[in-house]
Amino acid sequence: MFHKVLIANRAAIAARVLRALRSMGIRSVAVYSEADAQLPYLALADESYCIGPAEPGKSYLNQDAILQVLRDSGADALHPGYGFLSENAEFARRVQAQGAVFIGPSPEWIDAMGHKTRARELMRQHGLRMAPSSGLLSGEPEQDRRMAQEIGYPVLVKPATGGGGIGMMAARNDEELAKAVEQAGSLSRRSFGSAELYLERLLEKPRHIEFQILADRAGNVCHLFERDCSVQRRHQKVIEESPAPRLPREMVAAAGDEIVGVLAKMRYDVIGTVETLHAPGGGFQFLETNTRLQVEHAVTEEITGIDLVVAQIRLAAGEPLSAVIAQPVTVRGHAIEARIYAEDPVRFFPSPGTLKVLEFPVGPGIRVETGFAQGCAVTPYYDPMIAKLIVHAETRALAIERLQQALAATRIEGVKHNIPFIQRVLQSDAFRSGDVHTGLAAQVLAA
């Protein structure tokens, strides 16, 4: 097992990984930008290092600075968290070149799954179903139009690299396609350093269902059930839950087993999440594989009792899957997570500022993941998520009630936040009945 791990991230996920390392008796190394110097979890790390100014490119995306800390601290492993460099194969290789372990899938898998069109072709060859899509767009408007017409409108213009819903644009005709390609390409270039795009058939009101994967270095793979991430705003997840409501368990199990079979044949390793879309009559259709821990991993932890961060660390250290996960794993109750952002609840613009009041409820079935404390500043440099509020209960109805009560008891002052929006979704008849889909948030806002 590792003796010291560097956490190459910030805020909620850095605090989460730090907690896992402390539970395992592993020494921790935290890094921070000048803007994050006062975040509370830094005091809990065994060592902490400033890696640069606030701008991500000069700190959390600065590979040289992070690798220097890796050398200076003597850490023998690095946990990338999510976002930033977590799915950067070059960075993973550089970590390995220094003699340390990158706590994630092998760089080869980060490469293979990181480029969406190549990943889709790989999974298609292994028999997974997916919505009609194109290869990379050529940049020639006439060829782009022909590709869209062959797929059939409406289509979704998507970056071939990156994730998080950034740069995804819908187009319902040739005129909208030209605008979407221009805007998506610009966003993708700024966010991911690449303007490569492709087209995918836009499914109307599908379910967004993802499967949590764990695997060892010997090719043994398992899934820990599904998460329903259908409640999204502008392709960004807001509410996640497990199990997925109103989906037959035998159908979900069959889809999970099929994915496990494919990944085992490919000898995928450590951790990942296979994202799918589910439409009535169309089954599960492959979207992408995220080669990292997900923001919403706590939902799976609550229904299985398995600490995914600890499991990820143990698998990366070379332990067999059978030693990390005691089979069979069963679903216990229902869990829901709400992402709380510092943003205007009407226009949804970021709302940076100082958290003059930050109070969360405590009690059975309530869990809070955050990197902030009262008095900390939410800066404009990073994702404006303040916290994740997770609840667990025996049934979905009880979990919804518990989350509503927890949100009502949460106090945040100094910045605007999206709790009123989350409450509107939870109170809607569609959500309460389990009639969730990717258009639900917009439907609630338009009501």
What count of other Cβ atoms lies within 10 Å of the Cβ of residue 76?
Answer: 19
Residue 245 Cα distances to 14, 295, 395, angstroms: 31, 20, 11
Residue 273 counted as domain residue = yes
Of 138 and 414, more confident: 414
| Same domain (yes/no): 196, 216 | no
- Distance, in Å, from the CA atom of 58 to the CA atom of 99, rounded to the nearest integer, reads 24
First-to-last alpha carbon distance for the chain, in angstroms, is 53
| Same domain (yes/no): 164, 220 | no
Q: Which residue has the tokens 């194969």?
A: 89
Residue 111 counted as domain residue = no
| Same domain (yes/no): 258, 392 | yes
Nearest 5 degrees, angle CA 408-CA 81-CA 293? 80
pLDDT computed for residue 278 by the predictor: 94
Residue 120 counted as domain residue = no
What average pLDDT does this structure show over 183-210?
88
Q: Is residue 30 classed as helix, strand or coil in its secondary structure?
A: strand
Residue 282 has pLDDT above 80, yes or no: no
CATH number at residue 49: 3.40.50.20
**Segment 8-28, tens digit of pLDDT:** 999 999 999 999 999 999 999
| Same domain (yes/no): 197, 215 | no
Confidence (pTM): 0.94
| Same domain (yes/no): 164, 78 | no
* Residue at a domain's end among 61, 83, 103: 103
Amino acid in the structure at residue 334: H
pLDDT computed for residue 186 by the predictor: 87
What count of other Cβ atoms lies within 10 Å of the Cβ of residue 150?
Answer: 10
- Distance, in Å, from the CA atom of 56 to the CA atom of 15, rounded to the nearest integer, reads 18
Amino acid in the structure at residue 431: F
Share the mean pLDDT of the chain: 95
Residue 133 has pLDDT above 90, yes or no: no
| Same domain (yes/no): 183, 299 | no
Residue 249 counted as domain residue = yes
pLDDT computed for residue 166 by the predictor: 83
Amino acid in the structure at residue 239: I
- Distance, in Å, from the CA atom of 324 to the CA atom of 308, rounded to the nearest integer, reads 10
pLDDT computed for residue 30 by the predictor: 98
Q: Which residue has the tokens 């967004």?
A: 208
Of 198 and 116, more confident: 198
- Distance, in Å, from the CA atom of 252 to the CA atom of 153, rounded to the nearest integer, reads 29
| Same domain (yes/no): 365, 301 | yes
**Segment 203-236, tens digit of pLDDT:** 888 999 999 999 999 999 999 999 999 999 988 9
State the number of CA atoms in the 13 A half-sphere of 210 facing the CB: 25
pLDDT computed for residue 189 by the predictor: 84
| Same domain (yes/no): 434, 383 | yes
Judge contact between 356 and 413, C-beta under 8 A.
yes
Residue 193 has pLDDT above 80, yes or no: no
| Same domain (yes/no): 157, 251 | no
* Residue at a domain's end among 201, 230, 252: 201
Residue 108 counted as domain residue = no
Six-digit token pair at 177? Answer: 């396609």
Lowest mean pLDDT among 77-86, 154-163, 336-345: 154-163
| Same domain (yes/no): 171, 269 | no
What average pLDDT does this structure show over 158-164?
79
pLDDT computed for residue 447 by the predictor: 83
Name the pairing type of β-strands 270-279 and 353-354: unpaired
What is the per-residue DSSP string for 174-202?
Answer: HHHHHHHHHHHHHHHHHHHS---EEEEE-
pLDDT computed for residue 224 by the predictor: 98
Residue 197 Cα distances to 114, 169, 203, angstroms: 13, 11, 18
CATH number at residue 159: 3.30.1490.20
Residue 301 counted as domain residue = yes
* Residue at a domain's end among 143, 171, 201: 201
- Check 233, 292, 314, 402 and give the catalytic one: 292
Lowest mean pLDDT among 59-73, 268-282, 389-403: 268-282
pLDDT computed for residue 283 by the predictor: 87
pLDDT computed for residue 276 by the predictor: 96
- Distance, in Å, from the CA atom of 70 to the CA atom of 76, rounded to the nearest integer, reads 8
pLDDT computed for residue 12 by the predictor: 98
**Segment 166-181, tens digit of pLDDT:** 889 999 999 999 899 9
| Same domain (yes/no): 40, 139 | no
Catalytic annotation present for 292: yes
| Same domain (yes/no): 400, 380 | yes
Domain of residue 76 covers: 4-103
Residue 127 counted as domain residue = no
Percent of the chain residues past pLDDT 90, beyond the cut: 83
Q: Is residue 393 classed as helix, strand or coil in its secondary structure?
A: strand
Residue 121 counted as domain residue = no
Amino acid in the structure at residue 447: A
What average pLDDT does this structure show over 318-344?
96
- Distance, in Å, from the CA atom of 199 to the CA atom of 279, rounded to the nearest integer, reads 18
CATH number at residue 352: 3.30.470.20
Six-digit token pair at 213? Answer: 């994967």
- Distance, in Å, from the CA atom of 244 to the CA atom of 349, rounded to the nearest integer, reads 30
Question: Based on the structure, what is the number of domains in the chain?
Answer: 3
Residue 163 has pLDDT above 80, yes or no: no
